Structure 1
């Protein structure tokens, strides 16, 4: 494993602890301007996200109706009622984004798929960088507000549903994540910079509780004039 990645994982709780866990649940509150661009309403109500740590599976409840929840996997997305019956489902959900740009309207299954892979990614970082199907290497450091951040570039194989094949992860002197850059392929491939802060601890694992996504300019600086997505994370429980 990359030596820097090994130190980063240790700073976030360590592999021994991570491997002893199988699932995480968290309360999330989401906002930002992306949803309106996609023709979707967004409310400030908290929702409960459940993510499997060692396989790409996730669920969000409630979703669209107090009794509904999502079931995400890379090759299938579904919305189910509490009794298990299916409201809607889609096989090969990534193909449904073909030809989309940032203003292309999404239906509930588009949103459920995006939410599933994105929150799985966020709640398993940085540990997922050591998974099979991810190649990681260090690139030139980044200076931000007088701080020098180490940067790991990750190349994801098609085994993992995620924003884009290449993503950059920035870490401070304390080796905690500060920023995450990627292209949003399901929305035309625009460049995004996600700033993270307000770390919390849960069951021996450290993770940021606030995430803010902006368009990333050509100079690699985030355009702070427009907040695309905000995610607040609380009441995190690993099991």
Structure 2
């Protein structure tokens, strides 16, 4: 297990290089059925994200049609006006999703919570494997698209807000993450498979230029339709 965990971290640029930086920003173009289902069809279609690489804090802006900016942590979400005034806040945000299913609408702070923990998980992976309390073990390989991918089953501690406590990363022969499975607990534990596409290198760190998230069937295969979430990322910048 340690060998595969180390391999995937090194293949994406290495922990020492990653730890040289404190923040990562990017421009997002987001689409898919999720946003309509949540009653937020255009709010984050075109937005920016800033991820704190040292602790779980994330901002998205703007929240269309306003110029509001989110401030996400696992314990609180704030919606702020351009001058910094707090317009709305949500304490203990995860508890607010109790009983929610895929079709349940979200408030703006709930959307900010989902978007915040999602992008923190995605944009700090695979370096998130070195976070305190994160446990990874190699499980059996998986064949897909004419390739064999090794797999890491990762268990996250309660201190990290993320999709589900247990997730699986699929890793190709070059050590790059190709697929990422989880259950979205805050919308009824629906099973999903996220594909990482078109890797780019920024400051020596490998990042995906695209994500595509599909439903995951009982046979562990993705269901091609509908596309749950698509994300195109550009203008990456480390600070």
Asked whether the two chains share a fold, i.e. TM above 0.5, the reply is yes
The within-5 A match list for 1:169-188 is 169-188=169-188
Q: Deviations over 1:150-204 (max 9, x none)?
A: 1101001101000000000001111111000000001000100111110011111
Aligned residues: 239
Aligned to 2:110: 110
* CA-based RMSD: 1.2
> Is the CA contact (8 Å cut-off) linking 1:31 and 1:43 kept in structure 2?
no
Secondary structure, aligned partner of 1:120 = helix
Normalising by structure 2, we get a TM-score of: 0.97
Provide the rounded CA distance (Å) in 2 between the counterparts of 1:81 and 1:39.
Answer: 21
Aligned to 1:5: 5
Runs of 4+ in 1 over 6 A off after TM superposition: none
Query: How many Å apart are 1:42 and its aligned residue?
Result: 2.5
Provide the rounded CA distance (Å) in 1 between the counterparts of 2:5 and 2:140.
Answer: 15
Matched, 1:154 2:169: no
Provide the rounded CA distance (Å) in 1 between the counterparts of 2:120 and 2:63.
Answer: 16
In structure 1, list runs of 5 or more residues that go unmatched: none
Normalising by structure 1, we get a TM-score of: 0.97
Provide the rounded CA distance (Å) in 1 between the counterparts of 2:231 and 2:108.
Answer: 19
Provide the rounded CA distance (Å) in 1 between the counterparts of 2:88 and 2:26.
Answer: 24
Residue 53 to residue 135, structure 1, CA distance change in 2 (3 Å): same
Aligned to 1:138: 138
Aligned to 1:198: 198
Aligned to 1:38: 38
Query: How many Å apart are 1:43 and its aligned residue?
Result: 6.4
